Amino acid sequence: MANDVAIIGIGLHPFGRHDALSGRAQGAIALRAALKDAGIGWDAVGVAYGGSHDAGNADALCNDLGLTGLPFINVANGCATGGSAMASAVAAIRSGMTEFAVAVGFDKHPRGAFNPHPRDWGLPDWYGETGLMLTTQFFALKTRRYMHEHGISEESLVRVAQRAFRNGALNPDAWRRREMSYAEIAESMPVNLPLRQYMFCNPAEGGAALVLCPAEIAKRYHPKPIIVKAAVVRTRHHGSFEVFSPALAAQQAPAPTVAASRAAFEQAGVGPRDIDVLQLQDTDSGSEVIHMAENGFCEHGEQERLLRDGDTEIDGRLPINTDGGCLANGEPIGASGLRQVIEICTQLRQQAGARQVPGNPRLGYTHVYGAPGVSGVTILQR
């Protein structure tokens, strides 16, 4: 594409718990790192898109980086906030609006599960009174239904988590850096069955940032720019069963992930078999299993074999969540989608160290999913 966009700077503040730092401070650290990686100053940035759910307005970063007068747009799209910020930055550059754009996110969530208020999402009180606003319950119900329909056993849920913690142990920036045995995960405390304690990610803290520019000038600023072949966001259709859906439709529609994935592959001119390394939203083990098929990387029901045979390991044919994903890193909503992109950039740059995917990967894929049914997909090329 003549107006391709490149990522020339990446910056990450490790996810986890950082009592001495505000969420915004973690975002500022990540943004400064991304600017340094790109070799430009904050005053060169023409537009910024950023998001935070619990740590204040993202545009307050201007107080830390400098009041240059640039347009800074706050983004709020659930767990898809980071992907939405990046897609907006890509669109701004493609439109000719600016030469340099930033996508940034940070957060600092309180401990415990997300438990939002029904009325904030257009839902009646009864939805919360039944416990479904506590998202662990929704994801457990959705996973149970999916397992029943497609012949998936609890073994797959355990294997997803086991691989996540194994990869996280290789990632110096991960929060959870201890490998866990199959038995530890399979016998951990039930939360909402079939999902157990170590099958869920934790709300967390952290910051992540990207600097982007037109691909034609990218090598002036970084020796290994990463080309954005697609950056797509899609929302739900009537009949899809998503977070905060109050009922199942008589005729079910495909999830927004399906629409986003298909649009991204079409935009990039590639298919699932061309992807060398990928990131999938793993709010919990069940969600990753579902997303493997919804993104087109296997048929529904094939996940169990792929997981058992090691296809999704770092040295497998379909390496998933090589940095440990949300399960090992936690999920600060504003930053999580950008962490995915940073991991793919690190892999494509051949800078991932002990978790590096072999074979000189060329194409990477990221997928985020957020309430109340929003999905963002990017396809990146070395």
Choice between 147 and 54, residue whose per-residue pLDDT is larger: 147
pLDDT of residue 235: 92
Instruction: Indicate if the pLDDT at residue 126 is higher than 70.
Output: yes
Q: How confident is the model at residue 372 (pLDDT cuts 50, 70, 90)?
A: confident
pLDDT of residue 371: 86
Per-residue pLDDT of 58-113, as tens digits, reads 999 999 999 999 999 999 988 889 999 999 999 999 999 999 999 999 999 988 77
Both structure tokens of 16: 């986890």
Q: Which of 52-56, 103-107, 131-135, 263-267 has the lowest mean pLDDT?
A: 131-135
Instruction: Indicate if the pLDDT at residue 1 is higher than 60.
Output: no
Q: How confident is the model at residue 353 (pLDDT cuts 50, 70, 90)?
A: very high
Choice between 246 and 126, residue whose per-residue pLDDT is larger: 126
Three-state SS string over the chain comes to CCCCEEEEEEEEEEEECCCCCCHHHHHHHHHHHHHHHHCCCHHHCCEEEEECCCCCCHHHHHHHHCCCCCCEEECCECECHHHHHHHHHHHHHHCCCCCCEEEEEEEECCCCCCCCCHHHHCCCHHHHHCCCCCHHHHHHHHHHHHHHHHCCCHHHHHHHHHHHHHHHCCCCCCCCCCCCCHHHHHCCCEEECCEEHHHECCECEEEEEEEEEEHHHHHHCCCCCEEEEEEEEEECCCCCCCCCCCCCCCCCCCCHHHHHHHHHHHHHCCCHHHCCEEECCCCEHHHHHHHHHHCCCCCCCCHHHHHHCCCCCCCCCCCECCCCHHHHHCECHHHHHHHHHHHHHHHHCCCCHHHCCCCCCCEEEEEEEECCCEEEEEEEEC
pLDDT of residue 114: 77
94 φ/ψ angles, rounded to the nearest 5 degrees: -60, -30
pLDDT of residue 127: 87
Instruction: Indicate if the pLDDT at residue 318 is higher than 60.
Output: yes
Domain 5-111+200-381 architecture: 3-Layer(aba) Sandwich (3.40)
Q: How confident is the model at residue 2 (pLDDT cuts 50, 70, 90)?
A: low
Portion of the chain with pLDDT greater than 70, in percent: 99
pLDDT of residue 317: 96
Half-sphere exposure of 269 (CA within 13 A, CB side): 4
Q: Which of 11-15, 54-58, 211-215, 319-323 has the lowest mean pLDDT?
A: 54-58
What pTM did the predictor assign?
Answer: 0.95
